[in-house]
Amino acid sequence: MEKYHTNRRGFIKTAAVGGAGALALRPSFAPAANPGGSSMKDMKVALLQIHSDQNDFKGNMTKIITRAGDAAKQGANLMVSCELGLTAFQLSRDTYVKLAQTIPGPATEELGLAAKKANAYLIAGLVEKDGGDIYNALAVLGPKGNLVAGYRKTHLWLTENQTFARGNKLCVFDTEFGKIGTSICYDIMYPEYIRAIAAQGAGIITHSTGMVTTEDCDKFGWDPEFYNAFVRTRAWENQVYIPSCNRCGNDLFLYFLANSCVATPWGTIADKLGNAEGTLVVKTDFARLTEWQKIAPYWDDRRPDFYKTILDF
C-alpha cells in the first residue's frame, strides 16, 4: 500500500511539473480572468459559531459580540457569524416581523461598535424589514464601525418562500485586503451563483448558514460531511476562500450540523469547528493560490462566449 502511495505521489508531481511547463509555453497564457485571489492580501478570517436562542435576541447579540472580541485577540480581520444569528429560526412569519430590523438601524449600530472595537469586518445574520417585506439578510460592518454593505438571501428554501422576499443583488465589497463577497446558506447549492460572485473579483466569499438535519433528512444520510463537501467544492471550483459559519444546537425538530469550516481555493479544509459553540481563526495563504493556479488554470480555460450559446436554463 505504501508503495502505491509513493508511486501515486510521484506521478502527480511529474504531471504537475509537466503541466506547469506546458502552460509556460502557451503563447496566449495570461493571469486568471478572476483577479480576486491573485490580488488579495492575506488576512485572518474568523468563524463565530454559536447556538442562537429563539427567545433571546439580546443574548444572541451578546454572544456574537463576545466572540468577536475573542477573535480580535487572535488578530482576526474578518469575522463571520451564522445565518439569522440574532433571531434564530422562528416558527411564524409574524414572529420574524416583530424581530425584524432596518439596515441601518439600532442592531447594526451596536454591531458596528463591536466591529470598530475589534478593528475588523464583522458579518452578522438578521431579519431585515423594508416596507411590507422582510428579508433573510446580512449586515457587513467595517473596522471604523460603519455599515459597509447589506445582503439579502437570493435562494429561499422550502417555507422560506412563504416568509421572506427574495434578494436580487450580488454583494461584493471592497476592503484594504481585496474584494469580498457574501452568501447565505442555500445560496451555496447553486454553483452558477457563487461563480457569479467570484467573477466580480472576490477572493473570499463568506457563507453564513444554518445547515440543519431532520428525521427526514437523516433517511438520506445527510450529515456534516455533506455540508463541508459542498463548501469545499464551491471554494475549489472558483479558487476562492470560503469561510462558512454554521449554527450549533437545536430548535425543536431542527438539528443544526455545526462543523463550521474554512475551505481553501485548492479544495481543502484549512480548519473547522466541532459541534459546540466556538471561535476559529484561520490565516489565508494567497501565495499558495498563485502556485496552485500554475497547474490548475480553471479561470483561463473557461469559455464564456460558448456558455452564452448554451446557458438558457
Q: Is residue 132 part of a domain?
A: yes
CATH of the domain at 113: 3.60.110.10
Q: What is the pLDDT of residues 208-219, one digit of tens each?
A: 999 999 999 999
Q: Is residue 194 part of a domain?
A: yes
The C-alpha cell at 308 is 452564452
- Residue 269, pLDDT above cutoff 60: yes
CA distance to 20, 239, 258, 292, 295, per residue, from 15 (Å) = 9, 20, 38, 13, 9
The pLDDT value given to residue 15: 47
Cβ–Cβ under 8 Å, residues 206 and 230: no
Q: Is residue 260 part of a domain?
A: yes
- Report how far residue 83's alpha carbon sits from residue 90's, in angstroms, rounded to the nearest whole number: 12
The pLDDT value given to residue 127: 98
Burial of 23 from C-beta contacts in 10 A (0-12 / 13-18 / 19+): middle
- Report how far residue 176's alpha carbon sits from residue 148's, in angstroms, rounded to the nearest whole number: 13
Measured at the CA of 210, the angle between CA 75 and CA 245, to 5 degrees, comes to 15
How many structural domains does the chain have? 1
- Report how far residue 299's alpha carbon sits from residue 31's, in angstroms, rounded to the nearest whole number: 9
Q: Is residue 285 part of a domain?
A: yes
pTM (two decimals): 0.90
Q: Is residue 32 part of a domain?
A: no
Q: Is residue 13 part of a domain?
A: no
> Cα torsion at 190, 172, 71, 185 (round to 10°)?
-20
Domain that holds residue 223: 37-310
Q: Is residue 102 part of a domain?
A: yes
* Confidence tier at 33 by pLDDT (50, 70, 90): low
CA distance to 111, 191, 300, per residue, from 239 (Å) = 30, 13, 12
- Residue 98, pLDDT above cutoff 70: yes
Q: Is residue 25 part of a domain?
A: no
Q: What is the pLDDT of residues 42-73, one digit of tens each?
A: 999 999 999 999 999 999 999 999 999 999 99
